[in-house]
Structure 1
Amino acid sequence: MTAMAPNRTAPDLSFFLDHTSHVLRTRMAAELAEIGLTARMHCVLVHALEEERTQIQLAELGDMDKTTMVVTVDALEKAGLAERRPSSTDRRARIVAVTPAGAKLAHRSQEIVDRVHEEALGALPAKDRDVFLRAMERLVEGQLAQPVENAARRARQ
């Protein structure tokens, strides 16, 4: 007797979210690469321009680990787009300060990010865009706000 696959009772939300996220990231990466940035570099520049922030704060905002953040800031420094400086409010802390060239590039990269997002949303009829974005915001702020801790360990059990 041959085993049968189980019947799917709901749309494959994981596939939808994974696939669209992957495609969006690859498009974003290609567009930002044309001006010499990665998505992580863009994220650091924009968040560092908003207010004085340490590498740790920027890593949290960009969902990066410490090693990735160090490599990203090193690349920004090498390109003359940012530099590490002592904090104006805490002498023990060092912040990531964006140079004038970095600020100019951050504005260009934000235009690219906004355009890529608009192009993606352009695939939806106008009346559906707001509904889709509100639904995504509800998921991100609610049910899907935080990952499950130790998910890798649980998956192996």
Structure 2
Amino acid sequence: MTAMAPARSAPDLSYLLDHTSHVLRTRMAAALAEIGLTARMHCVLVHALEEERTQIQLAELGDMDKTTMVVTVDALEKAGLAERRPSSTDRRARIIAITEKGAEVAKQSQAIVDGVHQAALDALPKDEAEVLLRAMNRLVTEHLATPAEAPQGVRRARQKS
């Protein structure tokens, strides 16, 4: 007797969200690459233009680890779009300052990002796009607002050799 897979009792929301998110990210990456940016570079440019922020604050906003953030800022500096400077409020802290060229590129990249998002919404009838946005916003602010704590794996003590 062959075992059968259990029948689903609910739509596979994980697949639907993962797949659409993955495809949207690849389209975003391709569109931003046309002006020499990555999504992370765009994220840093926009958030650093909003207010004076440190590398650590920008990394948190962009959900980047320290190493990725350093590589991203290095690339922005090399392209002449940003520079590390002392903070105006705390001499010990260093902020990421966006150059004039960087501000111009940020305008371009924001238009690209908005265009990719709008194209996805335009693929739906207007009423469905509105319902999707309302539902997604409700999920991210209510039921799916906070990630579950990741279960900690049991660690065994290292064996002395």
Shared fold per TM-score greater than 0.5:
yes
Output the CA distance in 2 between the equivalents of 1:115 and 1:121: 10
Change (3 A) 1:125 1:45: same
Q: Which has the larger radius of gyration?
A: 2
For residue 151 of structure 1, report the CA deviation from its aligned partner. 4.8
Unaligned runs of 5+ residues in structure 1 are none
How far apart in 2 are the matches of 1:41 and 1:74? 10
Residue 107 of structure 1 corresponds to which residue in structure 2? 107
Instruction: Tell me the matched-pair count.
Output: 154
Which residue number corresponds to residue 158 of structure 2? Answer: none
Which residue matches 2:76?
76
Structure with higher helix content: 1
Task: State the TM-score, normalized to the length of structure 2.
Answer: 0.92
Q: CA separation in 2, counterparts of 1:151 and 1:119?
A: 38
Deviations 1:92-149 (A, max 9, x none): 1100000000000000000000000000011111011121111111111122222222
Aligned-residue Cα RMSD (Å) equals 1.3
Query: Hey, what's the Cα distance between the residues in 1 that align with 2:145 and 2:69?
Result: 22
Paired with 1:140 and 1:13, the residues of 2 have a C-alpha distance of 14
| Correspondence list, 1:8-157, <5 A | 8-151=8-151, 153=153
Provide structure 2 residue ranges, at least 5 long, that are not aligned to the other structure: 155-161
Which amino acid is 1:16 matched to? L
Q: 1:54-80, CA deviations, whole angstroms, 9 ceiling, x for partnerless residues? A: 011111111111111111001100111
